């Protein structure tokens, strides 16, 4: 069966990294495909000798009416096409920093200037968000803010390997000091729990290390928090599944994203180990995280 991945999202969010990863894993990739050619291209790949896995990047650079793309996606899915849409995003501050480092020009600069004046980079990003808002609603969103290219490649790799079931359940830890990830569907705040950071022997460790895990497990409120979150998910997971969504991201946050949120995510993953597929992500790159080539 033909499998199609559509990569889209905000300029500067890492779409080229994602597309190269898919190419490296055996996908036939096309960048900047005009919207009007998407259906025709997919139809042309249904022959016996055609590739079985295809990835296409379409965003504001693509010619044609981008506003038509949500309807095209809906029509292709109604025809039985296995089409997964990944929407990459990042907060505006991160995007501005990336443009500053790359010294590249935003693709909407000329369009934003048609009304007169000299639009700023922030103006162009705001216009792009407005143009892509309907498409975002049909996609699995990945917030790449503060992610390294290696982390993003690992996340995409895990997702395409797991993306074969009705609902991919993801548990993700994050640091509130860096902001709530905009890709989260459910957010739980565990900053009220005892903090290992104030123990000098535990401070350099993470929630995946046994001393920190044992320390947190010694507090009744930690166990109650984990069970309350798990009970909520057990109660509502069937409803999310019936909503025909393909992804559910449960984000758990603490101050630094290193101890409490990591521990809670790891424990939740154990409680839901029978769910297939299940992904575990930590937005803070932990010391023992191996980089992905």
Q: Are residues 9 and 153 in the same domain?
A: yes
Q: Is residue 266 part of a domain?
A: yes
The pair of structure tokens assigned to 129 is 């968000």
In the predicted structure, residue 290 carries a pLDDT above the cut 60? no
Q: Are residues 148 and 229 in the same domain?
A: no
Q: Is residue 86 part of a domain?
A: yes
* pTM value > 0.85: no
Q: What are the C-alpha distances in Å from 111 to residues 8, 15, 61, 63, 119?
A: 19, 21, 11, 13, 10
Q: Is residue 133 part of a domain?
A: yes
Nearest Cα to Cα of residue 248 among 266, 233, 228, 269: 233
Angle, alpha carbons 233-250-211 (nearest 5°): 95
Cα distance between residue 17 and residue 90, in whole Å? 14
Q: Are residues 102 and 13 in the same domain?
A: yes
CB 192 within 8 A of CB 186: no
Q: Could you tell me whether strands 53-57 and 28-31 are parallel, antiparallel, or unpaired per DSSP bridges?
A: parallel
Q: Is residue 289 part of a domain?
A: no
Identify the band that residue 79 occupies on the pLDDT scale cut at 50, 70 and 90.
confident
Q: Are residues 140 and 185 in the same domain?
A: no
List the CATH number of the domain containing 9. 3.40.50.300
Q: Is residue 293 part of a domain?
A: no
Residue 234 is inside which H or E element, if any?
helix 220-242
Q: Tally the domains of the chain.
A: 2
Identify the band that residue 215 occupies on the pLDDT scale cut at 50, 70 and 90.
very high
Tell whether omega for the bond before 277 is within 30 degrees of 0, i.e. cis: yes
Q: Is residue 287 part of a domain?
A: no
Number of CB atoms found within 10 A of residue 159's CB: 21
Residues spanned by the domain of 51: 3-162
Cα distance between residue 206 and residue 290, in whole Å? 15
Identify the band that residue 102 occupies on the pLDDT scale cut at 50, 70 and 90.
confident
> With the C-alpha atoms ordered 17, 41, 8, 278, is the resulting torsion angle positive or negative?
negative
pLDDT given for residue 244 in this prediction: 56
Q: Are residues 158 and 190 in the same domain?
A: no
Angle between helices 220-242 and 260-271 (to 10 degrees): 60
Cα distance between residue 229 and residue 70, in whole Å? 34
Mean pLDDT across 266-290: 86
Cα distance between residue 263 and residue 237, in whole Å? 22
pLDDT given for residue 291 in this prediction: 39
pLDDT-above-90 percentage for the chain = 57
Q: Is residue 229 part of a domain?
A: yes
> In this predicted model, what pLDDT tens digit does every residue of 88-97 receive, in sequence order?
999 999 999 9
Q: What are the C-alpha distances in Å from 251 to residues 6, 96, 276?
A: 24, 25, 18
Query: Which residues face 30 on adjacent strands?
Result: 56
Residue 251 is inside which H or E element, if any?
strand 247-254
Mean pLDDT across 8-34: 91
Q: Are residues 15 and 126 in the same domain?
A: yes
> In this predicted model, what pLDDT tens digit does every residue of 172-213 receive, in sequence order?
999 999 999 988 999 999 999 999 999 999 999 999 999 999
Q: Is residue 291 part of a domain?
A: no
Concatenating the DSSP letter of every residue in 115-156 gives TSS---HHHHHHHHHHHHHHHHTTSEEEE-TT--HHHHHHHH
DSSP code, position 20: H
CB 170 within 8 A of CB 249: yes
Q: Are residues 150 and 259 in the same domain?
A: no
């Amino acid at each position: 069966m033909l499998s199609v991945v559509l990569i889209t999202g905000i300029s500067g969010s890492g779409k080229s990294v994602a597309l190269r990863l898919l190419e490296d894993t055996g996908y036939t990739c096309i960048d900047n495909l005009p919207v009007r050619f998407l259906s025709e291209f997919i139809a042309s790949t249904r022959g016996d000798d055609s590739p079985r896995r295809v990835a296409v990047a379409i965003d504001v650079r693509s010619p044609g009416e981008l506003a038509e793309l949500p309807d095209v996606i809906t029509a292709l899915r109604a025809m039985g096409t296995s089409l997964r849409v990944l929407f990459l995003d990042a907060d505006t501050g991160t995007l501005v920093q990336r443009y500053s480092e790359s010294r590249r020009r935003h693709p909407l600069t000329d369009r934003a200037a048609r009304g007169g004046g000299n639009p700023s980079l922030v103006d162009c990003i705001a216009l792009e968000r407005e143009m892509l808002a309907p498409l975002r609603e049909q996609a699995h969103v990945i917030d790449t803010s503060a992610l390294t290219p290696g982390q993003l490649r690992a996340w995409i790799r895990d997702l395409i390997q797991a993306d074969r079931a009705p609902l991919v359940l993801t548990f993700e830890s994050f640091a509130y000091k860096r902001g709530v990830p905009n890709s989260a569907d459910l957010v739980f705040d565990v900053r009220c729990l005892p903090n290992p950071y104030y123990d000098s022997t535990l401070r350099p460790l993470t929630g995946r290390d046994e001393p920190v895990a044992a320390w947190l497990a010694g507090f009744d409120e930690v166990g109650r928090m984990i069970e309350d979150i798990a009970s909520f998910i057990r109660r509502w997971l069937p409803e999310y599944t019936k909503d025909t969504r393909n992804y559910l991201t449960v984000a758990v946050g603490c101050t630094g994203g290193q101890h409490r949120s990591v521990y809670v995510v790891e424990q939740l993953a154990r409680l839901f180990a029978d769910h297939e597929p299940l992904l575990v992500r930590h937005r803070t790159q932990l010391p023992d995280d191996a980089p992905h080539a």
